[in-house]
């Protein structure tokens, strides 16, 4: 299993149709981002859930915005 790195994505990071604007909160089980939806041209809050089986961050970011 890949090693879990509990660092938020950087501002401006493009993930699918979302561009990360900033981190709203970061806790033990999730990171909440303010993200801009390029498809709808709206800002939204997006949550990434922990543990590592749901959200992985590392060399290749593969996040599930469940």
Domain locations in the chain as residue ranges: 9-66
Angle made by CA atoms 48, 41, 32, in degrees to the nearest 5 = 20
Query: Could you give the dihedral angle defined by the CA atoms of residues 23, 19, 1 and 5, in that order, rounded to the nearest 10 degrees?
Result: -30
Burial label, 35 (beta-carbon count in 10 A; 0-12, 13-18, 19+): buried
Q: pLDDT band for position 29 (50/70/90)?
A: confident
pLDDT tens digit sequence for 33-66? 999 999 999 999 998 875 454 445 555 555 555 4
Report, as an integer, the average pLDDT of 1-17.
Answer: 75
Is residue 15 predicted with pLDDT exceeding 80? yes
């Amino acid at each position: 299993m890949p090693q879990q790195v509990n660092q938020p994505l950087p501002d401006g990071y493009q993930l699918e149709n979302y561009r990360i604007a900033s981190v709203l909160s970061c806790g033990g089980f999730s990171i909440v981002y303010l993200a801009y939806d390029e498809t709808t041209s709206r800002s939204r809050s997006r949550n990434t859930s922990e543990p590592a089986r749901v959200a992985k961050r590392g060399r290749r970011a593969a996040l599930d915005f469940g």
